[in-house]
């Protein structure tokens, strides 16, 4: 086998994973315990974390974001145990340092000019390019990794899953307010994210080799330095051997995180085992569905081009119900049926974005909104 010449980038290789293993990343906001404003506690929490916790947490671009990560999980029971233990430890750590962890994708009243950036070579490079666009991106997300057996399967699932991602966005929406303003969106984080270059909806690739060639071309042209510079709604992580779903807001309830993770796992398994190649989606329809999810959440509309859910436009809640029915057999096989049922609770209660609006319209206080969501997280 030939070796790369000096200066030539190494070719990406997909490291196979056990089928449908899981990894979850949750980006919490760090708040001052008294003012409830965003505060740059993440570096302090990282430095003061006990050895058992430190491998499970990470700093992010903004110092008021603390990411919590699970290890590689083989079942949803593993995810629940791992995430629950880490979140509880992180909450205690935050409390000991005068901070609170807050689960929503945008803080309701924090100002962008008050945020402190992390000092990191990659982050410095990114912010030098993004300027004001990057400084506005004070949002948090929730990412789910699904293990894939090989690169070609991962690409095939990645292609097919894009048309269903707006359903997960609608279910997870938690960012209606930004800098003290009601944006009119259920997920305004989505619109901030789309200001970033190479973000959001992505093009299809025919195979793993096709994707590698496409990424290499972007590198040669100086458009990206690495795969992580592509902020797509979903992307492959070849080092982990996973498909990473990135479209979701951070749900404000622990059970919502579990339910959405189970649904993503089941849909990934379902699509991986489909023999028929699904029709490539129309990008205009993809954009319309995503707009409906970000703007209206579960009250929006959904158009299913694949016909797997419905032959025509339906309400977003109906689309979700139909999707759950289709993937339910996989929840039995994967041992996550009880976790998948948690998504039905979201359909009954609506998203955390809707909850925030109800609280604010009643109390006229963002502080009350934050306190209420703090209490809601473990319900």
Domain membership of residue 11 (yes or no) is no
Domain harbouring 60, CATH code = 3.30.590.20
**What gap in Å lies between CA 290 and CA 340, rounded to an integer?**
22
Q: How confident is the model at residue 349 (pLDDT cuts 50, 70, 90)?
A: very high
Residues 206, 83: Cα–Cα separation, whole Å: 35
Residue-wise pLDDT for 91-110, tens only, equals 999 999 999 999 999 999 99
Question: Is the separation of the CB atoms in 162 and 264 below 8 Å?
Answer: no
Domain that holds residue 351: 22-376
In a domain, 219, yes or no: yes
Distance between CA atoms of residues 35 and 54, nearest Å: 27
Examine residue 159 and state whether it is found in any structural domain, yes or no: yes
- Has residue 111 been placed in a domain? yes
Residue at 250 is within a domain: yes
Provide φ and ψ at 287, rounded to 5°.
Answer: -65, -40
How many domains, in total, are found in the chain? 1
Q: Per the domain annotation, does 17 fall within a domain? A: no
Q: What percent of the chain has pLDDT over 70?
A: 94
175 DSSP β-pair partners: 187
Average pLDDT, stretch 114-141?
Answer: 74
Residue 128 has pLDDT above 90, yes or no: no
The pLDDT-based confidence of 118 (bands split at 50, 70, 90) is low
pTM of the full predicted structure? Answer: 0.94
pLDDT beyond 50 at 234 = yes
Mean predicted confidence (pLDDT) in 221-234: 92
Q: Examine residue 337 and state whether it is found in any structural domain, yes or no.
A: yes
350 sits in the region (left: phi over 0; alpha: psi -120 to 50; else beta) called left
Cα 102 from chain centroid? 16
Question: In the prediction, which pLDDT does 351 show?
Answer: 97
Cβ atoms of 90 and 82 within 8 Å: the answer is: no
171-192 mean pLDDT: 97
119 within some domain = yes
Distance between CA atoms of residues 297 and 307, nearest Å: 21
Q: How confident is the model at residue 181, as a pLDDT?
A: 97
Give the pLDDT band of residue 10 (cuts 50, 70, 90). Answer: low
Beta-bridge mates of residue 366 = none
pLDDT digits (tens, 9 = 90+) for 209-224: 999 999 999 999 999 9
């Amino acid at each position: 086998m030939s070796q790369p010449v000096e200066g030539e980038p190494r070719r990406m290789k997909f490291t196979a994973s056990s089928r449908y293993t899981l990894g979850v990343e949750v980006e919490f906001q760090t708040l001052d315990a008294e003012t409830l404003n965003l505060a740059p506690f993440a570096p302090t929490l990282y430095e003061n974390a006990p050895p058992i916790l430190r491998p499970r947490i990470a700093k992010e671009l903004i110092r008021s974001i603390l990411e919590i990560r699970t290890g590689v999980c083989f079942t949803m029971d593993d995810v629940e145990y791992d995430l629950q233990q880490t979140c509880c430890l992180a909450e205690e750590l935050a409390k000991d340092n005068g901070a609170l962890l807050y689960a929503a994708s945008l803080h309701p009243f924090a100002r962008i000019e008050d945020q402190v950036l992390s000092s990191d070579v990659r982050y410095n490079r990114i912010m030098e390019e993004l300027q004001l666009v990057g400084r506005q991106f004070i949002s948090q997300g929730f990412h789910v990794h699904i293990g894939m057996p090989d690169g070609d399967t991962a690409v095939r699932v990645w292609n097919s899953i894009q048309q269903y991602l707006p359903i997960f966005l609608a279910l997870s929406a938690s960012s209606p307010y930004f800098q003290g303003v009601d944006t009119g969106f259920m997920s305004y984080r989505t619109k901030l994210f789309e200001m970033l270059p190479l973000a959001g909806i992505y093009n299809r690739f025919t195979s793993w080799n096709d994707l590698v060639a496409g990424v290499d071309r972007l590198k040669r042209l100086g458009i990206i330095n690495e795969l992580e510079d592509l902020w797509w709604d979903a992307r492959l992580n070849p080092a982990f051997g996973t498909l990473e779903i990135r479209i979701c807001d951070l749900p404000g309830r622990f059970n919502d995180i579990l339910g959405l993770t189970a649904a993503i796992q089941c849909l990934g398994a379902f699509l991986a085992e489909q023999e028929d190649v699904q029709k490539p989606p129309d990008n205009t329809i993809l954009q319309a569905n995503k707009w409906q999810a970000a703007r209206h959440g579960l009250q929006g509309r959904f158009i299913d081009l694949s016909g797997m859910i419905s032959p025509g436009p339906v309400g977003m809640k109906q689309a979700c119900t139909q999707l759950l029915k289709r993937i339910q057999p996989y929840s039995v096989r994967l041992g996550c049926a009880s976790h998948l049922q948690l998504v039905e609770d979201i359909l009954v209660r609506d998203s955390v974005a809707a909850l925030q609006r109800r609280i604010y319209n009643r109390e006229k206080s963002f502080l009350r909104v934050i306190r209420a969501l703090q209490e809601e997280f473990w319900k």
